[in-house]
Amino acid sequence: MRKLSSPGEGWARVRPEWVALAVTMDDVHGRPNIITLGWTMHASGRPSMAAIAVGKTRYSHELLLKTREFVLAYPNSRMGEAALFCGTHSGRDVDKFAETDLEPLPAKLVRPPLIEGAVVNFECRVAGTADAGDHTIFIGEILMAHEEPDEREILLNFGPLPSGGRYLTGISEYMSR
């Protein structure tokens, strides 16, 4: 084993990472907002819970603290461009549903919408938070789950490209390169 100069270098080797989109309600602008997340996990079986790590500077952080509910969507393999847009622009400045081809669908139990065509959408209510340095971990109880029966391939993050940006795609396209 060889010592790395930083933990970040180690994490850069833990690829691919699945990509998620968390949708929150923004009552100031009267619209939902979307944040792209790599740091998400299944956190409890009973009750069913998911955890997401959201940076304290993100607009979504503010919205999550205010509204305490979110939709956690796992985008399909063709949603890479939209995920990159949502991960590089803030809802403080832009309407991400209007600026991408992502389409909202009404959820059943929470105010933020589902994302049409995502492999799976979870409706979550914040059950707790944990301070984690520059991020807060929001633990969401999953109230309802929805699948898109014809979508089986989730979006993965294979890491930075030499040309800049990140390589977000599905496993089939990655393997066929």
Ligand X SMILES: Cc1cc2nc3c(=O)[nH]c(=O)nc-3n(C[C@H](O)[C@H](O)[C@H](O)COP(=O)(O)O)c2cc1C
Q: Which residues bind ligand X (CB under 6 A)?
A: 19, 33, 35-39, 53-55, 58-60, 84, 87-91, 135, 157, 166
**Which residue number is nearest to ligand X in terms of Cβ?**
87
Q: Which is closer to ligand X, CB of 90 or CB of 129? A: 90
Q: Shortest approach of ligand X to residue 173 CB, angstroms?
A: 16
Integer Cα distance of 138 and 65 in angstroms: 9
Quick check: helix, strand or coil at residue 98?
Answer: helix
Q: Which is closer to ligand X, CB of 128 or CB of 160? A: 160
Q: Shortest approach of ligand X to residue 158 CB, angstroms?
A: 10
Q: Shortest approach of ligand X to residue 24 CB, angstroms?
A: 8
Q: Which is closer to ligand X, CB of 3 or CB of 155? A: 155
Phi and psi torsions of 11, nearest 5°: -60, -30
**Alpha helices (H) in 4-115, listed in sequence order:** 7-11, 59-67, 80-86, 96-99
How far is the first Cα of the chain from the last one, in angstroms, to the nearest whole number? Answer: 30
Helix or strand holding residue 52 (H, E): strand 49-55
Q: Which is closer to ligand X, CB of 72 or CB of 84? A: 84
Q: Shortest approach of ligand X to residue 34 CB, angstroms?
A: 7
